[in-house]
Amino acid sequence: MTEKTGRYFVVSDRTYTDDSGIQVRLVYATRTARLLFVIPQVADALRAGRLDVMSPGMLATLREAQVVVPAEQDELAEVLERDRSAARDRSQVDFILLPTSYCNMGCTYCGQEHVRGGLTADHRDRVRARVLRAARLATTRRLRVDWFGSEPMMGYAIIRDLSKDFVRVAGEAGVEYSSQIVTNGYLLNERNLEVLIKECRVGRFYITLDGPPEIHDVHRPLKSGKGSFWKIVRTVRAALDHPDYQDVVFQFRTNVDVHNQDGVARFIELMAELGFTRPNVHFSLDRVRPWSNDVSAIELAAKDFARRELDWLRLMQELGLPFTRLPHTVQRVTCPAVKAASELISGTGKIFSCTDHPLVPRTEETAALGHIGQDDLPVFRPAGEFDGWYDEIAQGRSWCRDCVFLPTCGGSCPKAWHEGNPPCPSYKHNVQGRLDLAAERIGLRPVQAG
């Protein structure tokens, strides 16, 4: 069989060594999200497309990582068909539920419009019936329910009420159940954390902190005018010491713009000092981007953010805060908006495919695919705007078609592409620095030139 070097890999520019003197380069295989360590001669041969100089053992490793592939293989077609298949898969059904349309914060960059009130009793019963019908389908093997907002904890009673039936029926049907919540964290406390984790089976909490307290409390102010940083931090820090929560993940996201960028390093140092260097904690940094609103006055340029991000990631590594250097899983489903068996039900009862659409006045009215009150709703949501996303990539409607990171990124956000705002992940711009961090983490250092 004739073979070739594939298109989906990145080779480190630097050569690394340790005290033994052995020199290696790093190869990041994006079709499998694997990081390989190879001798410099192999790295050079990969870049030159030469396989004749490699040993049989090395070739086997590269085949397994899909860095070396059959010569006739259309790799783009293979990746896109893998992703289409995952998007069509109905063995896992995902629901994203907004139990309320209100939020207790007034974040400076938010594009949503919040109104008080949760699901009416009728809507709540219809949501319950829709999720339970999906759980009982013969094709369903896994059911995931994510709680989203506005601020979902404003609808805590609804989360608790619905979850007890979701968990019970999934168990009766032999269906694997999981749940996550995206929350600002202010309304979490010892008691409702226990209920969410033990009764509602929430296994991951996504919480946003936008800097040290004096910056976070301005960037993400409570509508009451009070600060929120210390209440959020103390609640989660106490939960990390709970023996029953060691498998629960607390993921902190920091939205970065021109107003808080200079406070990120102090935030990282503070979180390390407070003891958030735990294996079930994760940190991510994201630049503020449009949510159907204009953030051009505060948005950082992608390359500028990527450059500064490397310094922040290096500081995290030095202080022991967990973060992702490079994706360690491939992105088979870009986002819920491309998946047939995934839907979002808004606090208004409207059904969407994209998490950016609800509670934004324009798209709340124009992008809904249905309403929970309809008696003729199909089992799975009606077709959405982004269901043909992988065909769009194949047609070259975004530069994802030619990008080495397509298998780990999937295009990131089809909605952003449709709006003409490329959402490429920061690692596209700072991958070499991230490879340096990956090498440093295991005790390797760059070989000095000359």
Angle formed by the axes of helices 302-319 and 264-273, nearest 10°: 20
pLDDT of 117 > 80? The answer is no
CA-CA-CA-CA dihedral for 383, 388, 389, 394, to nearest 10: 180
What is the mean predicted confidence (pLDDT) over 227-245? 97
Residue range 360-389: average pLDDT? 92
Domain extent listing, the chain = 3-73, 91-319
29 pLDDT tier (thresholds 50, 70, 90)? very high
Cα separation, 378 vs 370, whole angstroms: 10
Among 415, 441, 158, CA closest to 291: 415
Beta strand pairing call for 16-17 and 23-29? antiparallel
pLDDT computed for residue 113 by the predictor = 77
pLDDT of 119 reads 63
Alpha carbons 191 and 89: distance in angstroms, whole number: 37
CATH T-level fold of 91-319: TIM Barrel (3.20.20)
In order, the DSSP letters of 134-196 are HHTSTT--EEEEEE-SS-GGGGHHHHHHHHHHHHHHHHHHT-EEEEEEEE-STT--HHHHHII
- For the chain, the average pLDDT equals 95
What pLDDT does residue 441 have?
Answer: 96
Residue 118 has pLDDT above 90, yes or no: no
Give the pLDDT score at 363. 86
Statement: the pTM of the whole predicted model exceeds 0.85? yes
- Extract the tokens encoding 243: 């023996």
> What tens digit of pLDDT does each residue of 36-77 get?
999 999 999 999 999 999 999 999 999 999 999 999 999 999
Q: What pLDDT is stored for residue 60 in this prediction?
A: 97
Q: What is the mean pLDDT of residues 89-115?
A: 89
Q: What is the pLDDT of residue 450?
A: 55
Q: How many other C-beta atoms lie within 10 A of the C-beta of residue 74? A: 10
The beta strands (E) that lie in 231-307 are given as 249-256, 281-287
User: What pLDDT is recorded for position 406?
Assistant: 98
Mean pLDDT of 319-333: 97
Residues 410/401, Cβ–Cβ less than 8 Å? no
> What's the token pair of residue 271?
């979180």
Q: Could you tell me if 83 and 333 are in contact, meaning their C-beta atoms sit under 8 angstroms apart?
A: yes
Residues 252-291: pLDDT tens digits? 999 999 999 999 999 999 999 999 999 999 999 999 987 7
Calculate what percentage of the chain has a pLDDT beyond 90.
Answer: 87
pLDDT at residue number 402: 97
Residue 297, Cβ density class (10 Å: 0-12 exposed, 13-18 middle, ≥19 buried): exposed
d(CA 166, CA 144) in angstroms, rounded, equals: 10
